[in-house]
Amino acid sequence: MSDFGLKTLWPETASDTSIEADIVFVHGLRGGRETTWKKKKWSTLWPRDVLPKDINHARILTWGYDANIVDFFKPAGQTSIFGHALQLLSDLANQRRKEEEKNRPIIFLAHSLGGLVVKDALYQSHSEGIQPVVHNPRLARIKTCTIGVIFAGTPHRGADKAKWATIAGHLTRFVLKSPNTRLTEALERGAHTLERLQGDFSRILLGLPIYTFSEEREFPGNGIIVDRDSAVIGFPHEVRQQIPADHKMMVKFAGPEDPGYERIKNAILNLIEDWKENTEARQTPTLDVVREHRVNRLDNRSWSGTVAAESSLQGDVVSGRDINFGLRPR
């Protein structure tokens, strides 16, 4: 069975009407849409088995793509980060066709290379929204619906090539088929792809809530894979935390008592709660905000007064001149 594309982990019933948000998991280098998130083949898959018990009003999706560098039996996929990002956008847009899904909030949780794919996907979604000629509103909606991103061990500034070779688990010089060097080259320090993504992401998503998690422990035989300086983006509002595990194990949790799970879970809860509070604040007029308006009449008369919370007008008609009025809810 293919490990690529989107898979719904929870809820089991697609028609569940209590869903408030979509949480999308994106794996990293040599990962899988399920294997990345569990310690062993038959162990707990925490996004499916644990997270819904703490966050039961979200649909949990996991997305898979070809993140192998090499393959002994066939050529590794040659798709770039850009290509994977576009496919993620398309798959997610196709998953959100129903009216109740189209504008549902999205939270991305990405590990390692997956964070770069998510960054590029959000930039491409933004670009679809501003194209003067070719415009795909389905793809553009992904960015506008995103309420936060959680990055775990994402190399925003790259890492040493030798360390990525360790994660790959293969020596490419012994492989007869063609390896996908595009992915590893994009992950190296100073790579053009990283610089482009960092600049693009900063320009369009500076106000987006961001959580970045870095690894605390060394990967066996090769130390810290993505150091703290590379694992953070540098946004002023970014929440920076650490997980007591190495690069590979930092997203593999055995249960709710795992400190890494607790931190990730709280980050998701915070994003959802903050989104709800901001939505309520936008919908509720506040007494301490006054906006100036000018209402002109065709017969050279103007209206002066206040606007009540229910949008009814209160005031007097004045002849001969325009008078500003404040927007003050009762």
SS (H, E, C) 231-246: HCCCCCCCEEEEECCC
Q: Are 162 and 222 in contact (CB under 8 A)?
A: yes
Please give the single-letter amino acid code of residue 44: T
The Cα 153–Cα 167 span in angstroms is 13
CA separation (Å) from 6 to 64, 73, 207?
Answer: 7, 25, 27
Query: Who contacts 274 (Cβ-Cβ below 8 Å, separation ≥6)?
Result: 147, 148, 209
**Two tokens at 165?**
């070779």
**Two tokens at 78?**
């040659």
pLDDT in tens, the chain (330 residues): 578 999 999 998 766 778 999 999 999 988 999 999 998 877 899 999 999 999 999 999 999 999 876 443 334 445 688 889 999 999 999 999 999 999 999 999 999 999 999 999 999 998 876 665 457 889 999 999 999 999 999 998 877 654 655 555 544 443 434 444 555 555 555 566 676 767 777 777 778 999 999 999 998 888 899 999 999 998 889 999 999 999 999 999 999 999 999 999 999 999 999 999 998 888 765 544 434 444 443 444 444 444 443 344 444 444 444 434 344 444
Which pLDDT value is given to residue 45?
97
Cite the DSSP H helix spans in the chain.
46-49, 51-54, 81-95, 99-102, 113-130, 137-145, 161-168, 181-187, 192-204, 228-231, 259-283
Which pLDDT value is given to residue 188?
59
Domains detected in the chain: 5-283 (3.40.50.1820)
Which pLDDT value is given to residue 205?
75
